[in-house]
A and B are shown apart, each in its own frame.
Chain A
Amino acid sequence: MTKNARTIKVDYLARVEGEGALTIRFKGNEPKSVELVIFEPPRFFEGFLCGRSQLEVPDITARICGICPVAYQMSSCHAIEAAAGARITQEIRALRRLLYCGEWIESHVLHMFMLHAPDFLGYPDAIAMAKDHGDLVKASLRIKKAGNAIVNLLGGREIHPINVCVGGFYRAPTAGELRALLPELAWARDTLAEIMPTLAGLPFPAFERPVELVSLKHPDEYPFNEGRLVSNRGLDIPVRDYERHFEEQHVAHSTALHAVHVGHGPYVVGPLARFNLCFGELRPFAKRAAEAIGLVPPVMNPFKTLLVRGVETLQALDEAIAIIDGYRQPPIARVEVPTRAAVGMAATEAPRGTLYHRYRVGADGLIEEAKITPPTSQNQKSIEDDLFAIARRLVEMPHDAATKLAEQTVRNYDPCISCSTHFLRVRLEHE
């Protein structure tokens, strides 16, 4: 078989959330085109949100994604509250941050140890990895559980929480209920901090690509629910202007819409963007842990998002502990949200990146129009660009290794294909 007639083909990309396919076309040794093919069956959420009450929205949008339902609930609630002109209390704000901490911990730890780390250590999955690295896998499961325990208590259950509503929560937990979580959270924080130097020693491929990074930024805190949208290339806008700067395009090979920064092109949201843009707002514990392994901005190697997720998990664990330490059960768990004809927008930071929602609500409180831009559709073009940039290396590599590196390149982004609209098939084609 001659080199330039070679076809590398893998039918399924595993360890991503949802299913899709990947085609890399080569002419000789030169990459010609890269398509991240997503054919997750369309589910039309924006369509059937129309005609629903504004109060029903967070329960419906949660079902877009089983991995990050909290993110969908948070963006929905904030967007509808913005439309209604409702203001939540400081206590509700803190509880929402706490809930988000829980989702970041469980989602990041799932990705770091069960989906991503097996790539670096050469295992098909975390279970096989556990045979040689049993303590590491067991510790990661326990850390993940500490995050899920927050979502379980505050949300009622880990997947599709039931306690979140527009205006706040159905029931605020008692201080005693929350304090019971502290010992495991403290154990998780200290254990992960000890594991970080080991993770920093993983073999990260040397790869950097200049790219625009976009995230929310808040003056005092690492971003969750509030802030302005900023980038490393000068963007600094209020969230309500999002659609004036970002546009979604429908391409033939994908049921996810591709987002671009108008006049600038593809961009990246998620851990890498937040870390580089909001390093100053990290809590001292997380910042020290990052500095201790030499992880300081600029970090432009997408393979190192494994470490960045670790830092963000430490941030979330440390903040969760602080919120619980200062918690007193508030007299009201939810504020009244009036009904009026208006449009509301909000963006929050899902584990995978900025999640934008806009709703037009009628005077009767029913949704007239909904728009949802998930992180994966924003990152999709950049994933393709990373693959294009790494393709020349792939062509020089043995078939198996090339395939694995291509998959790992996609996994850097923890793509949630269910979100973006299932089935990742990887195909490297040569003409």
Chain B
Amino acid sequence: MRTPKKPKLAVFKLASCDGCQLSLLDCEDELLAVAGAVEIAYFLEASSRIVKAPYDLTLVEGSITTAHDAERLQQIRKMSKKLITIGACATAGGIQALRNFADVAEYARVVYARPEYLSTLATSTAVAAHVPVDFELRGCPVSKAQLLEVLNAFLNGRPPRIGSHSVCLDCKRKGTVCVMVAHGTPCLGPVTHSGCDALCPSYTRGCFGCFGPSASAHPSALRPALTRLGKTDAEVARLYATFNAAAPTFAAEHQALAPKKGPAA
């Protein structure tokens, strides 16, 4: 009897820090089991072995910042039966999307002596802005537990059990004391997507929005509370202008509050 063929897994990287795909290699206890359940067909960070497309399940890390990557992404989509984006870069453009609100030519001059050698787009955009995406996993970085859950779900043909509520709810579930109420620490927990298991408040730190906006986030409703705790408009604008700066809900808030010249001015 022939053994059934294992599904082919591919991992691609666009503009990013490598951290989300590294999350897979950081699953030290589960890595060999995952490698047993799938055929790792394309994962350059981990293997020099490349198996031809099509791929059953493709993970994409990173955002689109060059014309070359925009083209590559079209190819990746054609080669992939299911495409999942992993992390804030792929789902919201990442921190490099700060360029969307500034003059990219000016950034290039600050960093590079010979900006004419560079080829880059004026914007950093999410994968879903270019091709249809089957699931978006958030986080900067993604959570290992959620990554394994998504892989498990897709390999078994069921929807992933990933909530879209706010970090606030996770603090209540864990029994973490509210840092805003108890310590007066400004916190984006009320508007931020769950996934980190309410990590920062458990370290007595306010949430800073790594997982982007939750499904029903209203940053403008949180604004008075942040102001009461001493945050200026410019500071609140900067809180939203980080790893998910181009996620529409966060972008609207920092653009409403930012001093004239962009989020980081």
Binding site for B on A (CB under 8 A): 12-19, 39-48, 50-53, 56, 59-60, 63-67, 69, 106, 110, 114-115, 118, 124-128, 130, 137-138, 141-142, 144-145, 148, 156-160, 162-163, 170-171, 248-252, 255, 257, 407, 416, 418, 422
Contacts and interface: CB of A to CB of B under 8 A. Distances in A.
B69 interface: yes
Contact of A48 (B17, B25, B46, B264): B264
A22 B134 CA distance: 34
B28 A48 contact: no
A19 B45 CA distance: 9
B91 interface: no
A110 B21 CA distance: 13
Contact of A124 (B49, B95, B102): B49
Contact of A170 (B16, B43, B118, B203): B203
Given A41-B65, A48-B95, A159-B26, A15 B47 contact: yes
Given A67-B22, A252-B114, 14 more contacts: A14-B50, A41-B69, A41-B96, A46-B111, A50-B264, A66-B20, A118-B48, A124-B49, A125-B46, A127-B35, A141-B28, A156-B202, A160-B19, A255-B117
A156 B203 contact: yes
A17 B15 contact: no
Interface of B: 13-23, 25-26, 28-29, 31-32, 35, 40, 43-50, 62, 65-66, 68-69, 94-96, 98-99, 102, 104, 106-108, 110-114, 117-118, 120, 140-141, 196, 199-200, 202-205, 208, 210, 235, 238, 242-243, 264-265
A138 B28 CA distance: 9
B46 A170 contact: no
B19 A250 contact: no
A162 B203 contact: yes
A137 B199 contact: no
Contacts of A144: 28
B49 A42 contact: no
A83 B47 CA distance: 43
A50 B66 contact: no
B80 to A, nearest CB: 18
A124 B42 CA distance: 11
6 contacts: A42-B108, A127-B40, A159-B22, A163-B205, A249-B113, A422-B13
Contact of B47 (A56, A124, A163): A124
Given A19-B13, A162-B203, A42 B111 contact: yes
Contacts of A66: 16-22, 141
